[in-house]
């Protein structure tokens, strides 16, 4: 009986793992995702010199709010962090948590850069603000592809979990339906 249970369990595990190993047809291939992430990192690296050229301390001296200094520092550190995250994700794009984190950080950075661009336009150099906005816009298509990939990856992980759960339920049911042997304690011949 133990052998039958073990064989059934092994068959269930083998079947479940083979289902989980299959890739959904709608999921982008790893090479395309790698190219998208590298392109995003490259565009963000182009933004860094534009942000570095700005000097919000001069803006504050000319009447700008001091929050632009904090934004400037956040933009500079955020650019480095997001580029690092994108390159890290590029090495292992199947990791859903890293994909979500990178997407959220890109979105937050774009919002921060947009606000900083407004200050750049008002207090420093409107053409430089236009260049910054143009580079951010160029990254939009890549960001949208990343977002689509994250949605596909989440759907794939959800589907794999559902299949694994259904298969585990089926295996448990199969094992539970197997007849159990009543354990009878053998009678020892008595000594009279």
Which pLDDT tens digit goes with each residue over 43-71?
A: 999 999 999 999 999 999 989 999 999 99
Tokens of 14: 């083998």
90 within some domain: yes
What pLDDT was estimated at residue 48?
Answer: 93
Which residues, 6+ apart, have CB-to-CB distance to 140 below 8 Å? Answer: none
| Position 62 in a domain | yes
| Structure tokens that stand for 120 in this block | 């750049």
What was the pLDDT predicted at 2? 46
Q: How confident is the model over 86-134, as pLDDT tens digits?
A: 999 999 999 989 999 999 999 999 999 999 999 999 999 999 999 999 9
Number of Cβ within 10 Å of residue 132's Cβ equals 24
- Examine residue 182 and state whether it is found in any structural domain, yes or no: no
Give pLDDT, residue 25. 52
Q: What is the CATH number of the domain that holds 106?
A: 1.20.120
Range of the domain at 53: 28-157
Helices 126-177 and 30-53, interaxial angle, to 10°? Answer: 150
Confidence of residue 16 (pLDDT cuts 50, 70, 90): very low
Is residue 39 one of the residues assigned to a domain?
yes
Of the pLDDT bands very low, low, confident and very high (cuts 50, 70, 90), residue 13 is very low
Q: Could you tell me if 41 and 146 are in contact, meaning their C-beta atoms sit under 8 angstroms apart?
A: no
- The domain tally of the chain equals 1
pLDDT-above-90 percentage for the chain: 56
61 inside domain: yes
Tokens of 139: 């990254």
> Is position 167 within any domain?
no
**pLDDT at 175 > cutoff 70:** yes
């Amino acid at each position: 009986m133990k052998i039958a249970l073990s064989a059934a369990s092994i068959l269930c595990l083998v079947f479940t793992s083979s289902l989980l190993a299959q890739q959904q047809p709608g999921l982008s291939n790893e090479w395309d995702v790698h190219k998208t992430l590298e392109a995003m990192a490259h565009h963000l690296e182009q933004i860094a010199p534009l942000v570095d050229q700005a000097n919000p301390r001069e803006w504050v001296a000319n009447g700008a709010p001091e929050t632009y200094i904090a934004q400037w520092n956040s933009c500079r550190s955020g650019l480095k962090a997001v580029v690092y995250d994108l390159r890290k994700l590029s090495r292992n794009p199947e990791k859903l948590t890293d994909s979500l984190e990178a997407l959220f950080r890109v979105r937050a950075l774009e919002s921060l850069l947009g606000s900083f661009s407004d200050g750049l336009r008002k207090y420093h150099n409107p053409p430089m603000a236009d260049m910054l906005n143009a580079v951010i816009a160029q990254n939009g298509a890549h960001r949208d592809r990343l977002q689509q990939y994250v949605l596909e990856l989440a759907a794939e992980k959800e589907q794999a979990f559902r299949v694994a759960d259904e298969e585990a339920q089926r295996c448990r049911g199969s094992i539970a339906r197997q007849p159990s042997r009543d354990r009878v304690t053998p009678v020892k011949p008595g000594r009279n």
